[in-house]
Amino acid sequence: MIAIIDYGMGNLRSVEKAFEKLGFEVAVSDDPGFINKAQGVVLPGVGAFADCMANLKSAGLEGAVYDSINSSKPFLGICLGLQLLMEESEEDGIHKGLGVFNGRVRRLPEGQKIPHMGWNQVRYANKPPIFEGVPEGSNFYFVHSYYVDPSDTGIIATVTDYGFEFTSSIWSDNVFAVQFHPEKSGDVGLKVLENFGRLCK
C-alpha cells in the first residue's frame, strides 16, 4: 500500500488516480498510524509554502513525514512536497521547512516568465532508480515560481534549464523528490511513478 499524505493541500486525486491506473494499491490519508504502516509514502503539494507547513503541523503530520523517511521506506515528494523538505523558503518572507535537507527554496530569477509553467527537459546529474527507463532529456510538466537550492550538491538527481540551471529533482537513499508533476507528464511521468511503486513492494 502506498499512502498519499493528505494535509489539505495538493492535487491528491490526480496522483492517486495515476497510481491506480498503474495497478498499485494506494490511499489518501491524514492518519499518521496508517501512513506509518504503508510500504511507501508520497508527499504532494500545491500552494504557498507557509500555508503547507502550517497545515502539516496542525494536522499532526510532521512526525509521519520524519518517521516515514527514517524508516527507510520509499518516500516521494512532488512539487511543493520537494520544497518542504528543505530548511527554509524565501516565499513571502522566510519560513522554516521540514529541514530534512540543508538548503533554501528560492524564487526563480527575473528575466523568465514566472511561474515556470509547461513542459521542460530534465538532465541527469545522478540518475536515481525512479528514472529507470526514462531517456535523458525527457520532458516533464512544471508549474512553479520557486526552486530548491540544496547545500549538498550530491543529492541533486536532475537539473533543468530555464534561463539558468536549477535542481529539478533530488535523491538521497530512500528519499526521492521532484519539482515537476509526474502525474501530469504523460508516459514518462507514469514511468517515474511506476518505478517508485515497484520500489515500495
Residues designated as active site: 79, 181, 183
Helices (H), the chain: 12-21, 32-37, 49-58, 62-70, 80-83, 186-199
* Bridge partners, 4 (sequence order): 28, 42
> Letter for the amino acid at 158?
T
Cβ atoms of 74 and 176 within 8 Å: the answer is: yes
Query: Quick one: which of 170, 172, 118 has its CA closest to 147?
Result: 170
Query: If we measure between CA atoms, which residue out of 136, 133, 150 comes closest to residue 198?
Result: 133
Q: Percentages helix, strand, coil for the chain, rounded to the nearest 5?
A: 30, 35, 35
Joined grid coordinates for residue 77: 515528494
Grid coordinates representing 117 are 509553467
- Cα distance between residue 160 and residue 162, in whole Å: 7
